[in-house]
Structure 1
Amino acid sequence: MLPAAIWISMVGLAISRPSLNYVESEPEEVRSEAIKRLLEVFGMDDPPAALVRGHKEPPQYMLDLYNTVADVDGVTKDPTLLEGNTVRSFFDKLHSEQIEFLFNLSTVAKSEKILTAELHIFKLRPQASLTFNRHHFCQVSVYQVLDSNKKNVSQGKKLLSSRLVPIHSTGWEVFTITQAVKSWMSDEGSNFGLLVTVRTLAGLQVDLKTVRFSSGRHHHHSKQPMLVLFTDDGRRAASLEGTSKGADDSRAGPSLPFPSLPLPPANRRIARSSDDDESGEKIPCQRQPLYVDFEEIGWSGWIVSPRGYNAYHCKGSCPFPLGQNMRPTNHATVQSIINALKLTKGIEMPCCVPDKLFSINLLYFDDDENVVLKQYDDMVAGSCGCH
Structure 2
Amino acid sequence: MRRGAGALLLLLLVSSGPGNTASLPGQSQQIRSKALKRLLEVFGMEDAPPSPHKVRQPPQYMLDLYNTVADADGVTKEPDLLVGNTVRSFLDRGETRNQQFMFFFNLSSVAKSETILTAELHLFKLRGRPSQDPGQHKHHLCQVSVYQILDNSTSTVKGKRLLSTRVLPVHDSTWEVFTITNAVYDWIRDKDSNKGLLVSVQGLAGEQLNNYIHFATGRDHHSSKKPMVVLFTDDERRGTATSSSSIETPFLSEVTLHDKASQSRNTRSLNLQGCQRYPLYVDFEEIGWSGWIISPRGYNAYHCKGACIFPLGQNMRPTNHATVQSIINALKLTNGVATPCCIPDKLFSINLLYFDDDENVVLKQYDDMVAGSCGCH
What TM-score do you get using the length of structure 1 for normalisation? 0.86
Q: 1:161 aligns with which of 157, 161, 164?
A: 164
In the alignment, structure 1 residue 16 sits paired with structure 2 residue 21? no
* Change beyond 3 A, Cα 1:275–1:155: farther
Distance 2:127 2:206 in 1: 22
Distance 2:81 2:149 in 1: 32
* 1:51, distance to aligned residue in structure 2 (A): 2.6
Letter in structure 2 aligned against 1:175: F
- Please, which runs of 5 or more residues in structure 1 have no aligned partner? 240-271
In the alignment, structure 1 residue 174 sits paired with structure 2 residue 177? yes
Deviations 1:299-334 (A, max 9, x none): 000000000000000010011111111111111011
Distance 1:273 1:90 in 2: 51
Q: Note if contact 2:149-2:160 (Cα within 8 Å) is conserved in structure 1.
A: yes
Aligned to 1:41: 42
* Change beyond 3 A, Cα 1:140–1:280: closer
Q: Note if contact 2:273-2:306 (Cα within 8 Å) is conserved in structure 1.
A: yes
Indicate the SS of the match to 1:84. Answer: coil
Q: Is 369-378 or 43-52 further displaced after alignment?
A: 43-52
Aligned to 1:74: 74
Deviations 1:238-263 (A, max 9, x none): 99xxxxxxxxxxxxxxxxxxxxxxxx
Q: Note if contact 1:124-1:171 (Cα within 8 Å) is conserved in structure 2.
A: yes
* 1:280, distance to aligned residue in structure 2 (A): 7.4
The number of equivalent residue pairs is 350
Distance 2:130 2:376 in 1: 71
Distance 1:223 1:58 in 2: 11
* Change beyond 3 A, Cα 1:305–1:64: same
Aligned to 1:246: none
* 1:24, distance to aligned residue in structure 2 (A): 7.8
* Change beyond 3 A, Cα 1:224–1:297: same
Deviations 1:43-89 (A, max 9, x none): 1023444331x243210000000000000000000110000000000
Q: Is 42-51 or 336-345 further displaced after alignment?
A: 42-51
Q: 1:139 aligns with which of 123, 137, 143?
A: 143
* Change beyond 3 A, Cα 1:299–1:280: closer
* 1:113, distance to aligned residue in structure 2 (A): 0.4
Instruction: Give the aligned CA root-mean-square deviation in angstroms.
Output: 2.1
Distance 1:94 1:163 in 2: 23
* Change beyond 3 A, Cα 1:278–1:351: closer
Q: Note if contact 1:276-1:283 (Cα within 8 Å) is conserved in structure 2.
A: no
Aligned to 1:335: 325
Indicate the SS of the match to 2:124. Answer: strand
* Change beyond 3 A, Cα 1:299–1:203: same
Indicate the SS of the match to 2:56. Answer: coil
- Please, which runs of 5 or more residues in structure 2 have no aligned partner? 242-261
Q: Note if contact 1:48-1:365 (Cα within 8 Å) is conserved in structure 2.
A: no
Aligned to 1:125: 127
* 1:9, distance to aligned residue in structure 2 (A): 1.2
* Change beyond 3 A, Cα 1:322–1:187: same
Indicate the SS of the match to 2:23. Answer: helix
Q: Note if contact 1:122-1:224 (Cα within 8 Å) is conserved in structure 2.
A: yes
Distance 1:330 1:195 in 2: 63
